[in-house]
Structure 1
Amino acid sequence: MTKEEVEEEPLSPMARLFQSPGIENCIITMIGFKAKINPDIILDDLKHNVSKHPRFCSKLSDDGERWMKTKVNVEDHVFVPDIDLQEINKDGDGFVDDYVSRLTLSPLDKSKPLWDIHILNVKTSDAEAVGVMRCHHSLADGMSLMSLLVACTRKTSNLESFPTIPAIKRREQMMSHRFGNKGWYSRSINAVYYAVRLIWNTIVDLLLLWATSLFFKDTETPISEGIGSGNNARRFYHRTVSLDDIKLIKNAMKMTINDVLLGVTQDALSRYLNQRYGDKNGEGVTTTSNLNNLPGKIRIRAGVAVNLRQDIGIQPLEDMLAKDSKCRWGNYDSLVFVPFSISLETDPLVPLLKAKSIMDRKKHSLVAPMHYSIIEFIINTFGTKVFNRTCSNTTTILSNIVGPVEEVSLHGNCITYIALTGYGHSQALMIHFISYANKMIITIAVDPAVIPDPHNICDEMEKSLKAMKDTLSGKSD
């Protein structure tokens, strides 16, 4: 051990999981800017601030079991590729897509802290430059990284002010919310019913989780067939839609934003699969046929990420890093597996109602925190080699992260979009949502050998969202 390296602390169980053999899960955050990025400013800022964050100035010990604090040479973590702008400007989006895709084949160097930043001063369709931050999933989950990003930014409207951090608390328990104004007898009966349902739903979900880890697989479909492994190259595609439209649907249908996003995704994947099944030529060219080409009884499930912290949403970074914090830094989320209803609906609101129904039931279950506890127990008791196959037996992963509620700037450079996603999972499809100001950014991560046209999935999402909004607007007229 050198003077620059100090043994710090053991890896958490979830960090050990993400460091286990064969698992190289990484998070990629792509940030679009309104102006070119000055690399010298980024380097100077990192030199002054990276040491304040323990995970970004720590590397793995030789046995992979502990974090070792080390001196960080930021020049080894920041990359500014030489770019022929005259050639690249013809297709800036393609250059960025290809560059980020190549990163998925280049593992992070475990002899130093597990993160890097790539500065691409390339004009794309929605930005003048793109910054790409990559870090190993063992460092943190998406919510932790979003809180870190917000701590580094300032309001665009006032460059001296930190962004607004809304206080988002977990909803009150259903029991007090629904039964608080009823009489003692009614409250008692309803409390018993509530508890019985909670226990029953949890038992059923745990049995399904166990079955999924052993043998219960999703139907092989065009978005999963032929999948190789999480080590295949991934490609990323993002699309920006109106957050106000989503909120309009949420309020009209008396549901949550997560319910709306799940309903939109369910409907979009149904239509996309219908196109793929309708491709009679077998040439990978999707059709726009209105015929129902879907086979019966398709089982598709999504692993939906659930934040287990007491306070959800963006948190002040100093609070997350504080000892024994209730909104702690790191990986403190779980997955609940949600079945999709794959069908073509004539009423655009039906997918929303189906999504709300299944999510209401999942919220009335303790499977998310119990799944997390089970993972910790297995890792602490048996190690990571016996870990389950729940992800490989399901079709996709979804997550929704609350981003800045207003436009923000990084060193005076206004951010146009934030697209967060990941790679290293076994699924051929991952879908991430991030809200930013009045936008919702949808990011699709795909195995291009399985899904060669991710933009079509985004197209279907936009169509579904518009159809839902138009239907509700017509009802209110």
Structure 2
Amino acid sequence: MRIETRREREEEEEEEEEQPLSPAARLFHSPEFNCYIISVIGCKTKIDTDVITQGLKETLIRHPRFSSKLVIDGDKRQNQRWVRTKVNVEDHVVVPDMVASRRMTENPDEFLENYVSNLTSTPLDVSRPLWELHVLDIKTSDAENVAVLKVHHSIGDGMSLMSLVLACTRKTSNPMEIPSLPVKNRSKSRLTGLRSQSRFWWLVLALWSSVLLVFNTFCDAFEFVATTLFLKDTETPIKGKRGGLMEEKPRRFVHRTMSFDDIKLIKNTMNMTVNDVLLGITLAGLSRYLNRKYGDTEEKQEAKERNQDNLPKRIRLRAAVLVNLRPDAGIQALADMMSKGSKCKWGNWIGYVVIPFSIATRDDPLEHLRRAKDTIDRKKHSLEAFLTFSVGKFILETFGVKAAADIIGRAVSNTTMSFSNMMGPVEEISFYGHPITYLAPSAYGHPHALTMHFQSYMNKMTMSLTVDSTVITDPHRLCDDLEESLRTIKSAVQERGLVR
């Protein structure tokens, strides 16, 4: 049996006190990718700041990244590391003076949007751990009080951070139990079904699947190189332009809550996944929104009044979708890390895939769903996410952050938007004793004028849009179009008697 020496323990403790930034974390601190994750948490009751502060002391700051500050040595920012520090939680919990903000009584929803917009233009203090929680004592249309969590993306990827937030919550029905996420139903593949029937045909399909995987990955690799060099999306009313500091681009954060039951009804009826349905709704909503935008440029009023196709032909519109490549540690492991000091895998292990959006006006709204499913099925048979992660890591380690930021920045800015979806708890949870009514996370700082994120929670699906307000001046209209697309698709499913 090996006996750990005192010197080894001291060296291990020293390593835990200081950690170099990962390549991805260094990228997120570059001027081109100064990225943040922001999450609006709506509560059913008035928020007790003292209770929240005490809860953070007992959980969140026990996580190494939330109790470490960024230290940079040298003018070239090469030596960047996390250094553990003593955290004064009260410095990170911000409670603005609502009495001085008289306008919030007129329109609290607008006040919340303006407040979050101001947060996106204000950098965090690098002399402290890079996170803040803002507690707003306002009653909005869908919450009694609101908390806004702002975290620098270098601390972790979106999946890790959302899991950590959930690890700080408990089930309302049982305050001692952490929330549970829905289990993905993995249907048996065609290969599994045929293996028991015919070994020959199983081998044929397995070979074909491997060939398809290699071919699709090669095509995606070629597209990634082409996108980095010259392949740009069409200049549409929702596409931003690269250049300038992220802080100089005003961001607007809006969210809308839809029925998750309606989405699941469509999913079950059409034999699809939730991702298929959400992407189909997005295709329909963006098509509706862009068709109106292009119609508004028509000189003839009668052209506007007719519900005609105003979209240009062959619009190239693609979304960069982040994919978490780190094995999911689970909420329980994160909760144990904060309560017992156990270790847990953490970091930014993310690749991205480029998904083409088929933008068109269609007589059959269900065609948007079919196009979405075909696209996602095609991307499932590709190693594009692992490829982009590996290439990005290689460029960072070989050529440095500046070169990586320029190359990856070109690739991302030549696409149009970011898109993501995350599954949440199926029953009500409480944030340090405060029942939650909705969760609305998003991100900003990357060179996209539109970032769209879907977050499920109980029987709700919250859609969050973060937009460059100089490009997309009417984000609420875009939300309306996405909501209307869900209603139209649901009606089409019901009218055709497809619902069982």
TM over 0.5: yes
1:48-82: per-residue Cα shift (whole Å, max 9, x none)? 33442000001112235211111111122111110
Q: Is the 8 A contact 1:320 1:329 kept in 2?
A: no
3-state SS of paired residue (1:162):
coil
Match of 2:257 among 228, 240, 244: 240
Q: How many residues align?
A: 469
Q: Is the 8 A contact 1:168 1:313 kept in 2?
A: no
Give the drift of 1:19.
Answer: 1.7
Paired letter, 1:114: L
C-alpha distance 226-375 of structure 1, shift in aligned 2 (>3 A):
closer
Paired letter, 1:120: L
1:306-349: per-residue Cα shift (whole Å, max 9, x none)? 22234498664157889885xx3222222100111110011010
Aligned residue in 2 for 1:204: 219
Aligned residue in 2 for 1:95: 111
3-state SS of paired residue (1:59):
strand
Aligned residue in 1 for 2:135: 119
Paired letter, 1:460: D
Aligned residue in 1 for 2:492: 471
1:342-363: per-residue Cα shift (whole Å, max 9, x none)? 1001101001000111110100
Using the TM superposition, name which of 442-451 and 228-237 deviates more: 228-237
Aligned residue in 2 for 1:386: 403
Q: How does 1:393-432 map to 2 (within 5 A)?
A: 393-432=414-453
Match of 1:183 among 198, 221, 245: 198
C-alpha distance 312-173 of structure 1, shift in aligned 2 (>3 A):
farther
Unaligned runs of 5+ in 1: none
1:349 maps onto 2:366 in alignment: yes
Provide the rounded CA distance (Å) in 2 between the counterparts of 1:288 and 1:76. Answer: 55
Provide the rounded CA distance (Å) in 1 between the counterparts of 2:25 and 2:212. Answer: 33
Paired letter, 2:81: R
Q: Among the aligned pairs, what percent are the same residue?
A: 51
Paired letter, 2:45: A
Aligned residue in 2 for 1:71: 86
3-state SS of paired residue (1:430):
strand
Using the TM superposition, name which of 374-383 and 202-211 deviates more: 374-383
3-state SS of paired residue (2:454):
strand
Using the TM superposition, name which of 304-313 and 40-49 deviates more: 304-313
Provide the rounded CA distance (Å) in 2 between the counterparts of 1:41 and 1:386. Answer: 45
Q: Is the 8 A contact 2:319 2:356 kept in 1?
A: yes
1:260 maps onto 2:277 in alignment: yes
C-alpha distance 178-11 of structure 1, shift in aligned 2 (>3 A):
farther
Aligned residue in 2 for 1:214: 229
Paired letter, 1:15: A
3-state SS of paired residue (2:365):
coil
Give the drift of 1:273.
Answer: 0.4
1:147 maps onto 2:184 in alignment: no
Give the drift of 1:172.
Answer: 7.5
Q: Is the 8 A contact 1:278 1:289 kept in 2?
A: no
Larger fraction in helix: 2
Paired letter, 2:107: D
Paired letter, 2:470: A
Q: Is the 8 A contact 1:26 1:137 kept in 2?
A: yes
Paired letter, 1:376: K
3-state SS of paired residue (1:97):
helix
3-state SS of paired residue (2:455):
strand
Aligned residue in 2 for 1:27: 37
Task: Tell me how large the CA RMSD over aligned residues is.
Answer: 2.5
Provide the rounded CA distance (Å) in 2 between the counterparts of 1:396 and 1:451. Answer: 12
3-state SS of paired residue (1:138):
helix
C-alpha distance 312-181 of structure 1, shift in aligned 2 (>3 A):
farther
3-state SS of paired residue (1:398):
strand
Provide the rounded CA distance (Å) in 2 between the counterparts of 1:137 and 1:106. Answer: 15
Match of 1:295 among 306, 312, 319: 312
Q: Is the 8 A contact 1:30 1:132 kept in 2?
A: yes
1:275 maps onto 2:275 in alignment: no
Give the drift of 1:160.
Answer: 3.3
Provide the rounded CA distance (Å) in 2 between the counterparts of 1:235 and 1:133. Answer: 16
Using the TM superposition, name which of 414-423 and 177-186 deviates more: 177-186
Provide the rounded CA distance (Å) in 1 between the counterparts of 2:329 and 2:354. Answer: 20
Paired letter, 2:436: I
Aligned residue in 1 for 2:97: 82
C-alpha distance 178-202 of structure 1, shift in aligned 2 (>3 A):
farther
Match of 1:457 among 478, 490, 493: 478
Paired letter, 2:400: G
Q: How does 1:49-64 map to 2 (within 5 A)?
A: 49-63=59-73
Provide the rounded CA distance (Å) in 2 between the counterparts of 1:295 and 1:402. Answer: 35
3-state SS of paired residue (1:297):
coil
C-alpha distance 103-289 of structure 1, shift in aligned 2 (>3 A):
farther
3-state SS of paired residue (2:31):
coil
Give the drift of 1:123.
Answer: 1.0
Give the drift of 1:168.
Answer: 4.4
1:243-289: per-residue Cα shift (whole Å, max 9, x none)? 1111111111111111111111011101100111111379xxxx675
C-alpha distance 379-320 of structure 1, shift in aligned 2 (>3 A):
farther
Provide the rounded CA distance (Å) in 2 between the counterparts of 1:456 and 1:406. Answer: 30
Paired letter, 2:319: A
Unaligned runs of 5+ in 2: 1-13, 74-78
Match of 1:337 among 329, 333, 354: 354
Provide the rounded CA distance (Å) in 1 between the counterparts of 2:250 and 2:143. Answer: 25
Aligned residue in 1 for 2:52: 42
Provide the rounded CA distance (Å) in 2 between the counterparts of 1:168 and 1:316. Answer: 19
1:17 maps onto 2:27 in alignment: yes
Paired letter, 2:195: G
Provide the rounded CA distance (Å) in 2 between the counterparts of 1:6 and 1:225. Answer: 41
Match of 2:392 among 375, 388, 410: 375
Paired letter, 1:448: S
3-state SS of paired residue (1:22):
helix
